[in-house]
Chains A and B, each alone.
Chain A
Amino acid sequence: MTDLQNLLYEKFGYRNFRPGQENVIRSVLQGKDTIAILPTGTGKSLCYQLPSYLLNGITIVISPLVSLMEDQSSSMRRNGEKRVAALNSFLSFQDKNRILSQIHLYKFIFVSPEMLLQRKVEERLKQLKLSLIVVDEAHCISQWGFDFRPDYLRIGEILGRNRPPVLALTATADLKVIDDITKYLHMEMPVMERHSLDRPNITYVVEQMASDEKTAWIESRLEQTAGPGIIYVASRKRADELASILSRKGFSAAAYHAGKEQVDRSLIQEQYIRGEVEWICATNAFGMGIHKDNIRQIIHEHLPNTMASYIQEVGRAGRDGKPACAVLLYAPEDENITRFIIQNDMPDRNSVLHYTEWLQAGKSLTDAAAMAGMSETAQRVVDFYLSQMPVEEVCTSLDELRKNKEIDLQKMLEIVHSQVCIRKKILNAFGERYDDSRKQCCSICGLTEMDWLWKVASTEPQRKMTYAWEERIDVLLGI
């Protein structure tokens, strides 16, 4: 056994590394910038946690979602690592100051990109001895950075020249995204550990139907096939609506989206992980980083914007290695709905020109944006570009972006209309080859030997146990 393996067992209780982990860890320990592209659920978090114990300094983890950050930091605390702090914009002023003043006492600091950009945080971090900088879900630099997280694009600038090695982690990156990661994080000849993003135990299914048939399809699917599962929908409103339809029919279902208060989100997640709720109707707020090992099905009621987000969401399934199924429901009008959603927020040439004119006329940023009819998100993107290049180039870049989004959408549509193996299409979309054939592959290759999916006898939905209030206290406290 190697020393690393010993440490793996000692700190995490695992005997063996999963494919890719050890290479990534060694590269990090050698002080090299590293990009690790490992499929969803392989254990990318361990790729920075383990080497951190061998480096004497602080590890910074830049993470795109607050919920993801909270999850990771509390699960580390639960596993006995108490020197973890999470800095995000949801912290109260006092909390933030308390953490910042004691920051040298921590070993792992999770931070959101917008926090990193705050002068106070930046200065404090500069005084520390950093040994590793991790960018989790690094594809966001490309996928979201342009979109509504321009902050991600500035990480490289903030880190400056004199910095420790950077480790970028993601499950989904094609060559273009890898380029962006390298460029925006100012990485120098990064070591690349790239594994196929294929998840062999996931079966892909596309079902074509009319929009108004989807609810009924989902109902009968839940009746006949195995959970637990996640049903991804396009909006918060739809998540609430579908969850209440399903629970009224006696299914164990709940809604999850960013509009719910924090406690309710934790409750749903906890109920789901414990198996007290079987189906979650969710927006894309429930996804990245969520870890429950026995999810059997992912159903998409709408067409996701990009292949990357589709893979992320589908990647929640089958993390125990057992078979799982991903179904995409498609109605012809979905194409235009999704196109509208993704193009709607993109400022066009005219509004950019108006915006800069208003600015020159002395208007404030917000006023100018309002008058040019740009959303806040759009404004942030445009501001970022304007700080980097002349107006004309900004317009060209935005046109370029719009084209890219359309290309992303086309790739999703290719899957929907595919006449050949869906798995092949997906892998090709990320620049991977796939010429295999296997059982339980996809709805094109054929869905034989899927017995595991069907319920043996259609089980009566269980009526939830209800307690009187006094009983509930007894159960809570184990008396």
Chain B
Amino acid sequence: MELSSLILFMVSKMNGERSKNACLHIFRGKKSSQTLQDVQYFNLKPFFSVLSKLDAETYETHLYRLLADGYVKEADGRLYVSKTGLQKVKELDSCYFNGWDYRGNEIVFFHRLALAIQTISYFKEGIKSFMPIQTDREVQLFVKGMARHLPLENKEFPRKIGGELKNALQASGMKDRQKLIIVSRLSGFSITGRTWDQLAEELQMSPLSVYLEFIEGLHRLLDVIHEERDYPFLLQAAEGVKSSLYLTDSADQTRRLFAKGMNVEEIATVRRLKLSTIEDHFVEMAINDKTFPLTDFVLSKQVNEVVLKVEELGTRRLRMLKQEFGELSYFQLRLILGSKLGGGK
């Protein structure tokens, strides 16, 4: 995975519409309204904030390579993709970033994971104090909190964690090389993690490419962790990592109260808002949050029936669905549509 390939892909999307720094801003996850609009409008959300520390020099080196190879052209300060460039775009390996959801927080997740694994590994050897690979106190405190609820003294525990990590990596669909990269960044009692330089040398890739594969791998891994419910340890390490910034501020407040265990009515009372407003927030959450616990509100049998009906009728009109499913409220229907089908009409 090359940075220049990603740039080429992005240029092909924004073809002639934006100046040369637009891509750089997207990589860095700049929170200006221009950049936020760009990612929405050109469908570039996956790349948002993927390389938050990308320096202008590196970016330009890669861009100039594309210009020199004739894949990209610059005119009037804007970037265009050329014919050969377009051909090249078609040949690119597909990649699966999810920068919009994670916004650089995938690194936070990984730092926690690394420290948790290191802790488990040392505890297995009966060693309770060691040089933490993570000096960030925020991460240290988080993992300390996590460790309090882990059966660190249990002999079988490391095996269980190892199994969970292997399964999740396997399920994520990333390349074996990416699994190796991710795992190689971890340290334990009898083995120390590898640096970017070392991995680059061992895998015969540039350090930047190694890093991109690492980030893409983490995005895949995090998606799996959030979608399936089989990875309790990893999900714990991923707490709060998924961005809720796509929720409106008000919906986000509702989400937090819900996370504390309040129900719709209680939230409406506490926030002194209309019930319908809070319901709108829940629908927003159902649309945006893949971990939204839909079955807290409807039976999974009902969900399946609604989904089938929508396909059968070829419509998402609420009024029509309500006629079919008299026992479900409008609110319940909207939640199902939101969670399974991205919203209703």
Contact = CB atoms under 8 A, between A and B. Distances in A.
B196 A473 contact: no
Interface stretch (B26-34, B36-44, B187-195): B187-195
Interface stretch (B162-170, B258-266, B298-306, B336-344): B162-170
Do most interface residues of chain A lie in helix, strand or loop, or is the interface mixed?
A: helix
Interface stretch (A240-248, A308-316, A388-396, A439-447): A240-248
Interface stretch (A69-77, A103-111, A157-165, A181-189): A69-77
B61 interface: no
A101 to B, nearest CB: 14
Contact of B188 (A263, A469, A475): A475
Contacts of B138: 92, 94-95
A479 interface: yes
B197 A477 contact: no
Nearest to B196: A264
Interface stretch (A119-127, A228-236, A267-275): A267-275
Residue in A70, A91, A261, A271 with the greatest tally of chain B CB atoms within 10 Å: A271
Given A264-B196, A478-B121, A478-B158, A466 B202 contact: yes
A175 interface: no
Contacts of A79: 129
Contact of A74 (B114, B131, B161, B180): B131
Given A74-B135, A473-B165, A240 B197 contact: yes
A70 B137 CA distance: 11
Interface string B185-214: 111111111111110011000000000000
Contacts, number: 111
Nearest to B117: A476
B120 A477 contact: yes
A262 interface: yes
A80 B130 CA distance: 10
B133 interface: yes
B295 to A, nearest CB: 32
Contacts of A176: none
Contacts of B135: 70, 74, 262, 266
B191 A254 contact: no
Given A243-B197, A477-B120, A478-B124, A472 B137 contact: no
Contacts of A409: none
Contact of B187 (A99, A254, A267): A267
A78 B132 CA distance: 9
Interface of B: 111, 114, 117, 120-121, 124-125, 129-138, 158-159, 161-162, 165-166, 169, 176, 179-180, 182-198, 201-202
26 contacts: A80-B129, A95-B138, A240-B197, A243-B197, A254-B197, A261-B196, A262-B135, A263-B185, A264-B195, A264-B196, A266-B133, A267-B187, A267-B192, A270-B131, A464-B202, A468-B180, A469-B182, A472-B180, A472-B183, A476-B117, A476-B121, A477-B121, A478-B121, A478-B188, A478-B189, A479-B162
